[in-house]
Chains A and B, each alone.
Chain A
Amino acid sequence: MNAPERTQAFVLDEDSGEVKIVYSADTKVANAGTFRLNKEDHTVGNLLRMQLLRDPNVRFAGYYHPHPLVYFLDMKIQTNNSTVAPVEVLSSAIEDLANETDHLITQFQDAMESWKRENDHAEMATQF
Chain B
Amino acid sequence: HSLEYRKKHVAIGKHNTSYGSGLGDAPFVDSKNSAMDLKKWKNQFQLNFQQTKDPNTLVFDMIGIDAALANAIRRIVIADVPTVAIHRCYILNNTSVMQDEVLAHRLGLLPLCFNPDLFEFPPDETVVTMIDSIPEPEENLNLVFRLQVTCERDSSGKLQNQTVYAKHLKWVPIGDQKKRFKDNPPKFVYDKIIITKLGIGQTIDLTVHCAKGIGRDHAKWSPVATATYRILPSILFKKPLTQTQAKELVDICPLKVFEIEEGVVVAKNPRKCTVCRECIRKDGWDDLIALGRVRDHFIFSIESTGSIPPTQIFLTALEILQNKIDRLSNNLAAET
Contacts and interface: CB of A to CB of B under 8 A. Distances in A.
Interface of A: 6-7, 9-11, 19-23, 37, 40, 42-44, 46-51, 53-57, 87, 90-105, 107-112, 115, 122-128
Interface string B63-75: 0011111011001
A111 B48 contact: yes
B67 to A, nearest CB: 8
B77 to A, nearest CB: 11
Given A43-B72, A46-B72, A124 B47 contact: no
Nearest to B321: A101
A128 B25 contact: no
A6 B115 CA distance: 24
B325 A21 contact: no
Contacts of B92: none
Interface stretch (B5-13, B53-61, B198-206, B233-241): B53-61
A93 B114 CA distance: 37
Given A99-B38, A107-B47, A46 B311 contact: no
Interface stretch (B28-36, B160-168, B249-257, B266-274): B28-36
Interface of B: 23-26, 29, 31-32, 35-36, 38, 41-42, 45, 47-49, 51-52, 55-56, 58, 60, 65-69, 71-72, 75-76, 79-80, 113-115, 124, 184, 214, 216-218, 304, 308-312, 314-315, 318-319, 321-322, 324-329, 331-333, 335-336
Given A7-B217, A124-B52, 12 more contacts: A42-B75, A53-B24, A56-B35, A90-B332, A96-B35, A103-B38, A105-B318, A108-B311, A112-B49, A115-B49, A126-B312, A128-B184
Nearest to B322: A101
B311 A112 contact: yes
A54 B35 contact: yes
Nearest to A42: B75
A47 B332 contact: no
A2 to B, nearest CB: 15
Given A19-B331, A87-B332, A98-B329, A128 B72 contact: no
B328 A20 contact: yes
A70 to B, nearest CB: 15
Contact of A100 (B32, B41, B217, B329): B41
Given A55-B35, A91-B332, A108 B314 contact: yes
B227 to A, nearest CB: 13
Contacts of A10: 80, 214, 216
Contacts of A112: 49, 311
Contacts of A20: 327-328, 331
B329 A56 contact: no
Contact of B328 (A37, A49, A92, A107): A37
Contact of B71 (A46, A109, A127): A46
Given A6-B217, A47-B72, A50-B24, A96 B36 contact: yes
Contacts of B47: 104, 107-108, 110-111
Given A7-B217, A46-B72, A125-B310, A87 B336 contact: yes
A14 to B, nearest CB: 12
A100 B35 CA distance: 13
A101 B76 CA distance: 13
Given A43-B72, A109-B315, A111-B60, A125 B35 contact: no
A68 B327 CA distance: 22
A120 B283 CA distance: 51
